[in-house]
């Protein structure tokens, strides 16, 4: 504490007087800590219903109805998104990325929007790595997560019918964080008695179930963890082509064959919040419980409680995920 105070004094934050340290900066220290999220860079949502001009510089005071944090903004208030605020639907007319503002108008529609996001994870540094049964490996370390919202789907209420889609050109988002990952080696995948699309669905289904179980073991929120599948790089830090990666589970035809996939569970906050090392540690329990979860689920081909909704995956996703786990738990 003494050393810390001396450092802060050198930096001009503290002043020593009569054996006590006093805060001498004008800024209030708690001010820099957001209670809502790690990032303080929020987007303001402005209701422009009734105004013809959506530039926000038109007549009258624009009405600010809320804020979304930076990480959620690109998926919830992208142009043409339906944003729900206090039970009311709003259509996003324009997103001013630079100014961190979203202009919305009140609407009443029978659909919601679901953003399509591509995520790429690049391993920067491996902290620990170990071979496991499978053949496979587990590791944790520092990663760079790059994501981009490239489009959205319009989904009808109640029927979940896809009633439209759109492309979006939004800035890429980069985040340095920590991750835990499992590498499925070539031998394991090649030995699976399934077609390529079933294997791919099995991989994504397994990751979905792993995330659910990790959330439970860590006692965190599902949104605190991010998931991605990517090719194991030849060595850490190697840049892989952006197009090589896709987590577009909604479009099985876009799935490429992974040679040796890494299944990432990353901390969804810049800098990481300490989930990766514990996951690496409880790895055996994580795999065992995930296997129990999928095996005990009464659904036939997959559901949101086990490997994820069936509509987005092949009909053998559940079987394939279980088969992979069988190898990993051997």
Q: How far is the CB of 229 from Zn ion (least distance, A)?
A: 20
**Which range touches Zn ion (CB under 5 A), out of 163-171, 183-191, 214-222, 300-308?**
300-308
83 close to 45: Cβ distance less than 8 angstroms: yes
Nearer to Zn ion, 196 or 297 (CB): 297
Which one among 46, 263, 279, 306 touches Zn ion, defined by CB under 5 A? 306
Residues 257-296 that bind Zn ion (CB under 5 A): none
Please pick, from the candidates 21, 303, 312, 329, the single residue that binds Zn ion as defined by CB under 5 A: 303
Task: Considering the complex, state which of residue 205 and residue 272 has its C-beta at the smaller distance from Zn ion.
Answer: 205
Return d(Cα 169, Cα 153) in angstroms, integer.
14
CA dist., res. 28 & res. 110, Å (int):
46
Burial-class residue 150 by CB neighbours within 10 Å (0-12, 13-18, 19+).
middle
The whole-angstrom distance between residue 19's C-alpha and the CA centroid of its chain comes to 48
Q: Which residues contact 318 (CB under 8 A, 6 or more apart)?
A: 205, 294, 297, 299, 300, 301, 302, 306, 307
CB of 306 to Zn ion, least distance (A): 3
Told to check if 321 binds Zn ion by CB under 5 A, we report no
Residues contacting 17, CB < 8 A, separation 6+? none
Q: Is 299 in the site for Zn ion (CB under 5 A)?
A: yes
Q: Which is nearer to Zn ion, 98 or 300 (CB)?
A: 300
Interface residue with Zn ion among 54, 220, 297, 329 (CB under 5 A) is 297
Q: Which two tokens stand for residue 233?
A: 């790089």
Shortest distance in whole angstroms from residue 298 CB to Zn ion: 7
- What is the contact surface with Zn ion in residues (CB under 5 A)? 297, 299, 303, 305-306
């Amino acid at each position: 504490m003494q050393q810390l105070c001396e450092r802060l004094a050198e930096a001009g934050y503290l002043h020593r007087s009569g054996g006590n340290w006093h805060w001498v900066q004008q800024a209030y220290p708690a001010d820099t800590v957001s209670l809502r999220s790690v990032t303080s860079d929020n987007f303001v949502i402005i209701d422009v219903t009734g105004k013809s001009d959506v530039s926000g510089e038109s007549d009258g005071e624009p009405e600010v109805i809320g804020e979304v944090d930076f990480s959620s903004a690109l998926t919830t208030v992208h142009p043409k998104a339906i944003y729900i605020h206090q039970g009311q639907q709003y259509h996003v007319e324009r997103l001013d990325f630079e100014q961190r503002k979203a202009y919305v108008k009140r609407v009443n529609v029978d659909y919601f929007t679901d953003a399509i996001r591509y995520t790429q994870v690049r391993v920067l540094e491996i902290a620990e790595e170990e071979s496991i049964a499978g053949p496979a490996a587990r590791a944790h370390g520092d990663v760079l997560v790059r994501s981009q919202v490239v489009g959205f789907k319009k989904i009808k209420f109640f029927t979940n019918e896809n009633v439209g889609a759109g492309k979006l050109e939004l800035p890429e988002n980069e985040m340095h964080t920590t991750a835990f990952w499992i590498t499925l080696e070539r031998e394991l995948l090649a030995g699976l008695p399934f077609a390529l699309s079933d294997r791919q669905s099995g991989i994504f289904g397994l990751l979905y179930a792993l995330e659910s179980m990790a959330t439970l073991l860590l006692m965190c929120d599902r949104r605190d963890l991010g998931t991605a599948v990517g090719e194991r790089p030849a060595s850490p830090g190697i840049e892989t082509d952006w197009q090589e990666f896709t987590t577009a589970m909604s479009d099985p035809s876009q799935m490429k064959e992974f040679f040796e996939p890494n299944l990432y569970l990353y901390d969804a906050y810049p800098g990481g919040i300490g989930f990766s090392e514990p996951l690496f540690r409880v790895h055996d329990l994580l795999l065992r419980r995930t296997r129990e979860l999928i095996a005990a689920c009464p659904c036939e081909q997959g559901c949101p409680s086990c490997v994820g909704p069936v509509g987005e995956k092949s009909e053998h996703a559940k079987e394939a995920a279980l088969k992979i786990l069988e190898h990993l738990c051997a």
